[in-house]
Structure formats: structure tokens, C-alpha cells
């Protein structure tokens, strides 16, 4: 695959969005892109950089003007997703997984201590999706155990590694039951589960293999294909869809087959 065609979905050559070039999920897409490249063993990204440098450079573009370790959905002053206090778990998880797989330890540790100041909670201050709408502070959202596990792996804080089997056990529960608990789970959960598992496989515990085996039997490739399809009016990014489906088969397993609603070239 020619990875440079991800440029079709960028707003400025750097920030990865989706078919309408909206950056409301920009941090999520950034993380998913580099997680996939790392899992596939790709050395260079579409910018011609090695993936470690490419990820860190794009993080700097995203976080311009912010304290190191913080990021936003997307850099676009005046837009609702520019608000640094509107970064929810679905944006954070792929970013942490990408930091783990690209060995971006300094970024991950800065993020860790920034989050520690607020007990690792996500505080989402939203504009109801409108650039000029009133700010609405949502209830603080605690981190999930798999998210904590991904953060620990990204920071390489070995004194916390004893927590990883417990975090992976929770990820197993997510794979078996959490993916189907709600309509939203059915809609986009695999965009979170796969990056976390790929990061776990890079630094496995005795539980990780059970998670991989369970996930390999699921319909995750079909869900990912549908989620990133151009027919999905909100999330269409078929290049990223192809990367994630291929990363699933390469790293997780399962019987590979063609998914016609995802671009393959």
C-alpha cells in the first residue's frame, strides 16, 4: 500500500482527519495511523520520516501553544475541537498506544504527570459540536483500566508494571463483552480496543495472549471496515481503515478476507 495517500485526509498535510476533513477526531486518527504503521513494521510514514519522528512531529503540530504532554483533538483556532479541555478517552487511547509503539517516552511521561494532577480523569468541556455554542462541562470521566495499562506501557515506568496483568484482564472483558454493551460500543469500540491490544502485544503479560486469542475470533475487521468506509458519513477514511484491518490480521490473527467497503489500494 502507498501510505502517502493518507494525505487525501489531511487538512494541512499534517493533521489527519476524515473524508470531510473535520478534525473532531484528529487525535484519535493520528494515534490510530501510527499504531497501524508500527504494527505492520512500516519504517517510514507519508511525510518521509521514520514513524517515531513523524508521530512526534505531528504531536507538536497538534499541540502548538500547549504545555508538553498535552494535546487537543486538532489544531484549528476558533473551531470547537481546538479546545484543549475537550479531549475525551476515545481521543486519548490511540495517542497513548502510538506513544508506546513509537517509543515516545518523554511525551508519555509528560502526559502522565499532567494527568496525575487531576487523578487521571478526563474533563470534557464541549461546545455541543458548534464552534460558537455555549461551553458545556461534562461529568469527569475516569480512565479505564486498559487505558491505564497503555499509559504505563508508553511511559515505561517499570515500578507500575505489576498493574499490567490486571489492566489486560479488563481488556479481555472488553473484548468478550464490552464491545457489545451499547450502541456506541458497537459503533466505534474497535478503534480503541485494537490500539490497546497492539500496545500490549509489544510489552505482553501472561494475560495478553488470552486477549489476542479472544479478539482474533471476533468480527472486529468487519466493524473497522464499516466504521472507516466512505459510506460512513462521519468517519470515512478508507486508507486508515485498510491499515487498521491489515494490522489486525498481521498482529492479532484470524482468517483474513477481503472487505470490499474499505479501499485496498
SS3 annotation, the chain: CCHHHHHHHECCCCCECCCCCCCCCHHHHHHHHHHHHHHCCCCECCCCCEHHHHHHHHHHHHCCCCCCCCCCCCCCCCCHHHCCCECCHHHHHHHHHHHHHCCCHHHHHHHHHHHHCCCCCECEEECCCCCCCCCEECCCECCCHHHHHHHHHHHCCHHHHHHHHHHHHHHHHHHHCHHHCCHHHHHHCHHHHHHHHHHHHHCCCCCHHHHHHHHHCCCHHHHHHHHHCCCCCCCCCHHHHHHHHHHHHHHHCCCCCCCCCCCCC
**Degrees to nearest 5, angle at CA 236 with 47 and 44:** 20
**How many residues comprise the chain?**
265
CA torsion sign, 181 to 252 to 255 to 260? positive
pLDDT number for residue 126: 65
Going by C-alpha positions, the residue among 52, 96, 83 that lies closest to residue 192 is: 96
Report the C-alpha gap between 256 and 246 in whole angstroms: 9
pTM metric for this prediction: 0.91
pLDDT number for residue 263: 40
Going by C-alpha positions, the residue among 191, 196, 249, 250 that lies closest to residue 223 is: 191
pLDDT number for residue 179: 79
Task: Name the residue ranges covered by the structural domains of the chain.
Answer: 3-252
* Per-residue pLDDT of the chain in tens (265 residues, 90 and over written 9): 556 689 889 988 999 998 888 898 999 999 999 999 999 999 999 999 999 999 999 999 999 999 999 999 999 998 888 888 888 899 999 999 999 999 999 999 999 999 999 899 987 766 555 666 666 777 678 899 999 999 999 999 999 999 999 999 999 999 998 877 665 656 678 999 999 999 999 999 999 999 999 999 999 999 999 889 888 666 789 999 999 999 999 999 965 665 544 443 3
Report the C-alpha gap between 76 and 195 in whole angstroms: 26
pLDDT number for residue 242: 94
CA dist list (Å): 245 to 1, 147, 240, 253? 13, 21, 9, 11
Amino acid at each position: 500500500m502507498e501510505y502517502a495517500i493518507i494525505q487525501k485526509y489531511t487538512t494541512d498535510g499534517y493533521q489527519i482527519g476524515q473524508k470531510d476533513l473535520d478534525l473532531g477526531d484528529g487525535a484519535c486518527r493520528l494515534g490510530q495511523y501510527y499504531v497501524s504503521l508500527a504494527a505492520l513494521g512500516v519504517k517510514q510514514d507519508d511525510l518521509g520520516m521514520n514513524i517515531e519522528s513523524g508521530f512526534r512531529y505531528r504531536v507538536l503540530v497538534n499541540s502548538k501553544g500547549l504545555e508538553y504532554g498535552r494535546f487537543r483533538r486538532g489544531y484549528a483556532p476558533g473551531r470547537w475541537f481546538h479546545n484543549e479541555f475537550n479531549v475525551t478517552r476515545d481521543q486519548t487511547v490511540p495517542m497513548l498506544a502510538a506513544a508506546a509503539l513509537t517509543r515516545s517516552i518523554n511525551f508519555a511521561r509528560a502526559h502522565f504527570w499532567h494527568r496525575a494532577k487531576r487523578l487521571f480523569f478526563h474533563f470534557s468541556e464541549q461546545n455541543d459540536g458548534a464552534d460558537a455554542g455555549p461551553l458545556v462541562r461534562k461529568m469527569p470521566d475516569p480512565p479505564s483500566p486498559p487505558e491505564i495499562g497503555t499509559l504505563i506501557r508508553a511511559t515505561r515506568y517499570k515500578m507500575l508494571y505489576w498493574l499490567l496483568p490486571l489492566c489486560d484482564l479488563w481488556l479481555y472483558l472488553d473484548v468478550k463483552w464490552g464491545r457489545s454493551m451499547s450502541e456506541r460500543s458497537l459503533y466505534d469500540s474497535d478503534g480503541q480496543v485494537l490500539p490497546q491490544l497492539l500496545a500490549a502485544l509489544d510489552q505482553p503479560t501472561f494475560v495478553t495472549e488470552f486477549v489476542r486469542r479472544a479478539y482474533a475470533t471476533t468480527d472486529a475487521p468487519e466493524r473497522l471496515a464499516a466504521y472507516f468506509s466512505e459510506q460512513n458519513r462521519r468517519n470515512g477514511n478508507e486508507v486508515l481503515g485498510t491499515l487498521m484491518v491489515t494490522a489486525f490480521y498481521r498482529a492479532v490473527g484470524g482468517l483474513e478476507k477481503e472487505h470490499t467497503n474499505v479501499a485496498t489500494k
